Amino acid sequence: MSTEKKIKIIILNYNSANETVELYQQLLSFSHSFIDVLIIDNLSNKDDLKILTSKVPHNQLLLNNKNLGYAGGNNIGINLSIQDNYDYTLILNPDIRLTNETIPTLLASYTTYPNAAAFGPRICYRNEPQKIYSDGGLINRKEGYLTNHLNFQKNIGEINITSPIHETDYVNGSCILINNEIVKKIGPLKNYFFLYFEETEWCLRAKTNGYSSFINTNSISYHLTSNKSKNYHYFMVRNRVFLAKIENQYYSFTRNKIFKNLLKELLNIVTKGTFPKYWWTRMRGLVSGIFYTIKE
């Protein structure tokens, strides 16, 4: 009987079929015996679905009949991974690209930290592969649950590290290897986040239950930057408030800080003669975060 650890890889697609298929084909080229790939589509447009169904075998493609967001879509994959007795679930965004050693290095990390909740790689830019996007996510509760990335936009050559593995507040959700045993103990992602902060909340929840998350900088992945849409601005504000509510720390401070910052932005009307872009979108996010009743 084989003792090799197995990974179910989930690529969640929403109108990104060309990127998704390219990533899928890259994964197949690695010929790793310990991985299986499942693409989950969140009700993309017809053109996207045509590409997916023509390029991906039906047994590796699951088509949702509604857009469940990052959390809901990936939870389907996580639950299937656990149901099918995989040891880990690797969530990948369609724009992520890996090296042949990215996944084996992440998997080997659990040998040293078998009870880790999650491992993530160093994420660099696809168009500037020597520039770091993230060496792990950091969260500052005392500043209203602001998040940032360790070593953001630094060149790899600038970084001096004593160990390739370090603990992080959370692993970026674009490439996160989740320990299924920990999911069984603390539950999956929270569906009500829909988009953004869901992996942050999960890693922080794991931490409160005694399980840490780590980055292995010897494991490298690459991602594309993208323009931020209205959805980004809405959910980033709303879900910051959600997280403060859930943890019940600095909630009033976070709510008030966001509101004060929005009011300050209105001064642009007087000083610059322009209305702040996405101001109403972010205000709606704040109001929704305040009045939405979170149900576990």
What is the pairing mode between strands 7-13 and 35-41?
parallel
- The conformation of residue 131, written as its DSSP 8-state character, comes to B
Joined tokens for residue 194: 């829909």
**Gap between the Cα atoms of 237 and 155, Å rounded:** 30
259 in helix, strand or coil? helix
114 in helix, strand or coil? coil
Measured between alpha carbons, how far is residue 126 from residues 21, 216, 221, 222, 291 in Å? 17, 19, 9, 5, 39
**Residue-range domain boundaries for the chain:** 7-223, 230-291
CATH code, residues 7-223: 3.90.550.60
Joined tokens for residue 35: 């991985």
**Model pTM?**
0.95
Handedness of CA 40, 86, 125, 237 (dihedral sign): positive
pLDDT for 296: 63
pLDDT digits (tens, 9 = 90+) for 98-120: 999 999 999 999 999 999 999 99
pLDDT for 2: 45
pLDDT for 3: 61
Low-confidence ranges of the chain (pLDDT < 50): 1-2
pLDDT for 104: 97
